[in-house]
Structure 1
């Protein structure tokens, strides 16, 4: 993509743009390299002395603590910022982060300073058939080692409240909401709603997750732009009830949205969605026209300044590819799809106001967006997960609206239901019906002929060829559309 825009800039004589682009890329490469440098007392260097014996470590829990149940056994997992490790001559100060797996249920919380004993080892690569690397995924979050802790091993809480107060409050609220959902919904239903509202997918059964993965709609199980947009819309509607000025309503929405991003785990895709929605609200507040490409670029720059390794994160790449595809591909594909649905050109006022025309036009616009996203991320999904889902375009038309309804009902269940307990049964009944309807739709779409198929051994070169071919094809289509519009103008004249 960078090379494509570089060639365009050279052809247009924008030498300054070319020079600045090269400088930015060079500085970015240096920044990534500097971010990967480890300090002398990093836990990575100390781990080599504990290959054949357990390591006794102290550190602070810096993430939500998840407890998974499988085959009547439990596993407690979290990120731990290490502060010291026990050496033969005493405790030694170290730095770095490890991912801890305790193979039993433990009552631990964010911000706990703990002492734990376990075996340090490199992350395992569970899937050798695709290009997704669990080891690289953890490395993007600063994790080089995993600490596996036995059921009977030492796990002591030395002190509580060592983390950020704001994050601690968001984690407590998160646990309360999770408990509220578990109280009123079944285990699988609560797991689905937690994924869509709180970004926590650990409680979704693998069979249900596969249904959405095969139909190309697994994105609904992670908090992203669409989720944040729906939540922002509901929040703004509630705030509009208050007798406040429009400017204050927008500012309040931005602050609440920021809190929701932290509540949902502040993953790259969630932060990207939160920042883009914030920029949109600020453009409304300042009465400025928004440039979507500039907004996307600024959002990416902020995330990469925070952690340049986000660039290599699968979620980051898919999230930004989706939005870029919507911005770039949808205007190109839309006129052709409008022709297919018979809503292209000018119509009489009576026709354009008819419900049949509006339905066809809305479906055509939805198909344009869905097809753009599918084409835009196909190369990445094939490369990382080895799957192509032709049914995705149709699946998004059915499952995404159901997801929006489920988010709305879930938002109502957690807000209105918390204050007016009499409304809880109504929301629960509607929520159960819509959640099961969404899963049933995914199940039926899975049964379509050629709904999905797997492709193995896809190399990076093949993915690059696909995107180069896509860019060339888009240039040709743009030129055809430009020529067509010029001919139409000439005919009118």
Structure 2
């Protein structure tokens, strides 16, 4: 009977011919205000980017807002005069009104007041004394990358500060704004809510200097944070406790600390070496170790690690069941659930997915108390409106987009996918009551639950796939299957963890037993996810894609789900054809990036260091060095994002010129995130035992990953390109007496008659010897030796080689000290300090083009 009713309802809906527009008006009236709000924010942001006025009063474009208000007034008049058009016109009138509201809200949010800190800071660093209140608990910057133990400085501390004053020659004056403060050492004496006075350098954030690099400046600007403060030590901060006016911040800090202690301590402390329990239950992602995080990312299960609606849903469901067990009626359970949700928000970081889920829970609780019905999609739209009114720039953030797109996918696609699967299985797993044997009933229950879970996971994946591809350039095709596999274990961990936190204050011994169960379950989950992450089919790296492809994808999803035709066959054929075209589009883009007919070399900006990616004709990509002295974790923060942005998942080889830390300290993280066929090195890296701590740490880290350094062949290459090793000579009598820098590998790349010389850190003696051994040596492009240092450069070296393009991989301090600022007018000379990443393209006909990622 259930199946007959379902099919009759489907036929009735088809015969009724109600469009998606009509259904949205009736069932999800808040959809139109939410879309209007987002459209107004996006349009206002585009106008600001187009005109870019500094004056906040001019940022609100009247030519954009006034037509909206006029249209909204017209809609209001039509509502009053045309009864039949009233619902549709009211919906579109609300959309237009909220579009204007979105534009106004973004203009107000980004306005620069007279006392804003941005008016006191230019592009140059400013020494200042500031006063303000700490907004967030001071967090230590993680130094879990391989070479962190050889870093020159202690781990830094970061927190956000709400300014109220700055000291000038006229004394203290009032200022406003929020700062990101970084202290170059741990600060155990500070906590959220403290008011401090700090002596610091103020600066504006710079944009990324490499393709694919995380844009911290834009990320913070969306939070209305435009200025940073650098504090050299904890002694430069004088603080005192805040008063009772900041009760909420202090309460949140205490609740969060109490929840963390309840989870991780007790009669039997929770052993959580992976940091997974704290990440799953409290959103403390700083505790999770790098390899566990990487395993979840590769399998597409990272949404479990980030607090989302699922976590809060399980928590609210647990509270609801406990309330029912205690004998509370539905209104009482709803009140308790709402209060528990508020406590949950105090214990975890305030992120958009968690707040969105909390708003939905509160709406349902209010509906139960008021005895009203509510819709899930309407609640989702309400959550979007609330979050965007609080901070309109949410709409541009990948996390916010993924959160709402995934939930929208679950709401819109779970039932159709579940019905389709049941049709394929001939309704073998539909719940038809308790008829039949107990085993058959259990199979139906488990099978039906698994199908429902898979349908929800697939719906979330479809909803978020386009955004994931656009922002992170990857597709995780098996994420839905792995979600079904590990969800029961995740649900058990969440349930046991929440119970442990509650029982810690009531029954500590029982909480300790739950902690033991929790430790076993988290370790099992890590083992399963790590095992799954080793499968090469988990993630398809595509590289950057145009936004038109993402728009076409979502248009296809919407048409497939809500499009109406008289006959289903043409619709299915059209969807299939469009899907094939989209897949072909992605496949062609991926093929073009991995099968090339030209040579492309990119010298990445890593500060004082070197990382050069050479994409040879054909399919091979070789990385020459990966390291930096002053920038931390360049493997994960610079090199791998660039490779992902380019769609490069495999490296034929990593070539290490020598063992200096500014050439090798990013290699382990690259091996963790990419498939690397060979790791080549020179004689200094092949010596046993290792000659210095850097080489020893490098070799130890490689062996942990099952790798060994191989001697670089005399020549290698791909297609018509060749790479020839010029230096050092394979003569022990000569090589053993060279300095560490003069033992650096010097390679000559040749393609289509164009020569590129990579000189690494060779100094004057090696440069002179190369000229003697290769008297006819010339090159069109030269990566200047030793980061362009004039102190170790032989005057005749570059003159004899006569390159048309010179590239220096150095930081700003080196660039200034070596006197290169006068060379900015010479277009043949490039520096990563002023140009960012530098890309050289050599076409098959020998045409050469050199570009910098940024302009000086």
Q: TM-score range by the shorter chain?
A: 0.7 to 0.9
Q: Hey, what does 1:234 align to over in structure 2?
A: 318
Alignment of 1:180-191 (within 5 A): 180-183=262-265, 184-186=269-271, 188-189=273-274, 191=275
Identify which of 227, 237, 245 aligns with 1:155: 237
Aligned twin of 1:166: 248
The CA deviation string for residues 269-291 of structure 1, in whole angstroms up to 9 with x for no partner, is: 11110110122223333333321
Decide which of 284, 287, 291 is 2:371's aligned counterpart.
287
C-alpha displacement at 1:455, in angstroms? 1.9
Task: Report the Cα distance in structure 1 between the residues aligned to 2:168 and 2:23, rounded to whole angstroms.
Answer: 56
Aligned length: 478
In the other structure, the counterpart of 2:557 is 470
Q: TM-score, normalised by structure 2?
A: 0.52
| Other-structure match for 1:144 | 226
Structure 1 residue aligned with 2:528, among 434, 441, 444? 441
- Residues 283 and 290 of structure 1 are in contact (CA less than 8 Å); yes or no, is this contact kept in structure 2? yes
Q: In the alignment, which residue of structure 2 is the partner of 1:78?
A: 159
| CA positional deviation for 1:479 | 6.5
**1:122 and 1:203, CA in 2 relative to 1: closer, same or farther beyond 3 A?**
farther
Task: Compute the displacement of 1:133 (Å).
Answer: 3.4
Distance 1:27 1:240 in 2: 43
Tell me which residue corresponds to 1:56: 129
Quick one: which of 407, 429, 448 aligns to 1:323? Answer: 407
Q: Aligned to 1:48, what secondary structure does the other structure show?
A: coil
Deviation for aligned residue 1:193:
1.9
The residue aligned with 1:215 is: 299
Tell me the equivalent position of 2:483. Answer: 396
Asked if 1 retains the 8 angstrom alpha-carbon contact of 2:207 and 2:218, the reply is no
Deviations 1:240-287 (A, max 9, x none): 454655423321221121121122122221111011012222333333
Local SS of the residue matching 2:140: strand
Distance (Å, rounded) in 1 between the aligned partners of 2:499 and 2:516? 13
Q: Deviations over 1:280-332 (max 9, x none)?
A: 22333333332111111112112222222222222221111111111112223
How far does the alpha carbon of each residue in 1:122-153 deviate from its partner, in whole angstroms, 9 at most, with x for none? 33556955486332222222211222222365
Structure (1 or 2) with the greater helix fraction: 1
User: Compared with structure 1, are the counterparts of its residues 474 and 307 closer, same or farther at alpha carbon in structure 2 (3 Å cutoff)?
Assistant: same
Do the aligned partners of residues 167 and 482 (structure 1) sit closer, same or farther apart at CA in structure 2, a change above 3 Å counting?
farther
Task: Give me the whole-angstrom Cα distance separating, in 1, the residues matched to 2:182 and 2:377.
Answer: 41
Q: Return closer, same or farther for 1:373/1:132 CA change in 2, 3 Å cut-off.
A: farther
Deviations 1:408-462 (A, max 9, x none): 1111222213332322442122111110111112112212241112221223222
Shift of 1:171: 0.8
Aligned in 2, Cα 1:267/1:356: closer, same or farther, shift over 3 Å?
Answer: same
Aligned counterparts of 1:324 and 1:461: Cα–Cα separation in 2: 21
The residue correspondences of 1:371-390 to structure 2 (distance < 5 A) are 371-390=458-477
For structure 2, the residue ranges without an aligned partner over 5 or more in a row are: 1-19, 26-31, 33-83, 572-856
Aligned to 2:333: 249
Q: 1:214 to 1:142 in 2, by over 3 A?
A: same
Q: TM-score, normalised by structure 1?
A: 0.88
Equivalent residue number for residue 173 of structure 2: 92
In structure 2, which of residues 192, 216, 223 is the aligned counterpart of residue 134 of structure 1?
A: 216
Which deviates more from structure 2 when the two are superposed, residues 104-113 or residues 421-430? 421-430
**Secondary structure of the residue that 1:77 maps to in structure 2?**
strand
Measured in 2, the distance between the counterparts of 1:108 and 1:212 equals: 33
2:135–2:249 contact (8 Å) kept in structure 1: no
The worse-fitting range, judged by mean Cα deviation, of 31-40 and 333-342 is 333-342
The change in CA–CA distance for 1:178 and 1:39 in structure 2 (over 3 A counts) is: same
C-alpha displacement of 1:8: 9.2
Matched residue, 2:45:
none
Name the structure 2 match of 1:362. Answer: 449
2:492 paired with 1:405: yes
Shift of 1:29: 2.1
Greater CA drift, 30-39 or 130-139: 130-139
Deviates more, 1:411-420 or 1:107-116: 411-420
- 1:78 to partner: Cα distance: 1.3
| Worse-superposed segment, 123-132 or 395-404 | 123-132
Tell me how large the CA RMSD over aligned residues is: 3.1
Q: Secondary structure at the match of 2:167?
A: strand
Q: Deviations over 1:199-257 (max 9, x none)?
A: 22112122211211122211112221111111112223333454655423321221121
Name the CA distance, whole Å, in 1 between partners of 2:197 and 2:565.
61
Q: SS at 2:544's partner residue?
A: coil
**Aligned mates of 2:472, 2:183 — CA distance in 1:** 28
Q: Alpha-carbon deviation of 1:53?
A: 3.9
> Which residue of 348, 352, 373 corresponds with 1:264?
348
Which residue among 421, 444, 447 is the counterpart of 2:508?
421
How far is 1:381 from its partner?
Answer: 0.8
Q: State the distance in 2 between where 1:165 and 1:77 align.
A: 22
Q: Quick one: higher RCO (CA 8 Å, sep 6+), 1 or 2?
A: 1
Q: Which moved more, 1:373-382 or 1:206-215?
A: 206-215
Partner of 2:109: 35
The alignment partner of 2:181 has SS state of strand
What is the deviation of 1:155?
Answer: 0.9
Return the alpha-carbon distance in structure 2 between the equivalents of residues 61 and 93 of structure 1: 17
One of 335, 340, 343 as aligned partner of 2:424: 340
